[in-house]
Amino acid sequence: MKKKTAALMAALILAVSLSACGNANKEVKTSSENKEENQEEESVVESETSGKCGNDAVWSYKDGVVTIKGTGDAGGYHFTFYTKTNGLNDKIEKIIIENGITRIGEFTFQHCSNLKEVSLPDTLISIGENAFCECNSLTEITIPSSVTSIEQKAFNSCSSLKQITMSDSLTSIGNEAFVFCSSLQEITIPDSVTSIGNGAFLYCDNLRNVTLSESMTSMEGIFRDCKSLEEITIPHSVTSISGAFYNCDSLTEVIIPDSVTDIGDSTFIDCDNLRKITIPDSVTSIGEKAFMNCNNLTEITIPASVTKLGEDAIDNNGFREIIFLGSAPAGIEKAITPFPGASMNLKIYYSDDSFDSVIHGDIDWNKHDIEWIKR
């Protein structure tokens, strides 16, 4: 049911993620600004194996090793441009960034396909967008204790990355920071992290074991399409979940803590092997398509606290029993409206008279083999 829609959405996400690595969002500049920039570029390149890579930073290359020295920001578009121009990006095997550097700029080491080893300094604070994009030979990375931010897509498409060590100083992980890290099997997010961006581990196909921060408050699309993820413990600090487990088709059981008030759109859509879900009575709303196509989830209990259901929220061919403990939530008709001609073989249990208007409304429930049973 509706698999085509889910597949199209996944394909769109894939296309956007792949295109982002090689194309930065640059400002439109005037001809005079471009002229000044070109003059600056000409002045900073000292040779084919060395040059400036920041206002107060320089780089050098020798025998497969890039060394960056100085202070402040380093790298960015200029550095990436010159290494590609001189063909160095395919030769770099090791990167040493010395103390004094505080940020690795956008796209700095993108497409360094033979990079195997990275040494980061204790002065580093931030790793920029797509900084290590498509470094396909990098197998491990240790984030220094000084780093507080890993920006969006920082390790985009590092397909051999298996081990990531994060310190307890890290506070934020950007959108799709580790997208397409297909060799990653486990990750521990320290409790210092308060924010994890949308799709942070999108398409990490082999990710199996996850330990989440006890300080994060929301989970938005974090593990979309993590097809090997079998179990997850949601921290008690989390109050909202949205799209977090989209297409996690190895996930079998989820216990939602009583801190969560909102299960958002598409949270468990296409979790084909999900068999058990516990919804606490802290939850007040369940979003659109939240449990759509969870075909092995045969029963669900909606607590009395739930007052709103999104469209197709519990539209699932696998359900054989739905139990409502309270009054009829707003949007219930569209939440479980069967497709024309569909036979659901479903029993819905309720106790509140507010369901009467739903039962005797416009939908012919018997036609779809849906039986309402008052308890």
292-306 pLDDT per residue, tens: 999 899 999 999 999
For the entire predicted model, the pTM comes to 0.85
The whole-chain average pLDDT of the chain stands at 88
- Tell me how far apart the alpha carbons of residues 113 and 135 are, in angstroms, rounded to a whole number: 5
pLDDT at 263 exceeding the cut of 60: yes
195-210 pLDDT per residue, tens: 999 999 999 999 999 9
173-198 pLDDT per residue, tens: 999 999 999 999 999 999 999 999 99
Give the distance from CA 267 to its chain's centroid. 12
Which residue intervals of 177-336 are DSSP H helices?
332-335
Secondary structure (3-state) at 41: helix
Range with lowest mean pLDDT among 14-23, 140-149, 266-275, 363-372? 14-23
Give the distance from CA 236 to its chain's centroid. 20
All domains in the chain, ordered by first residue: 50-202 (3.80.10.10), 217-340 (3.80.10.10)
What integer pLDDT is reported at residue 65 of this predicted model? 96
Give the distance from CA 274 to its chain's centroid. 20
Q: Which residues pair with 248 in a beta bridge?
A: none
The radius of gyration of the chain from alpha carbons, rounded to an integer in Å, stands at 25
Name, in order, each residue with C-beta under 8 angstroms of 271's C-beta and a sequence gap of 6 or more. 245, 247, 248, 249, 251, 293, 294, 297
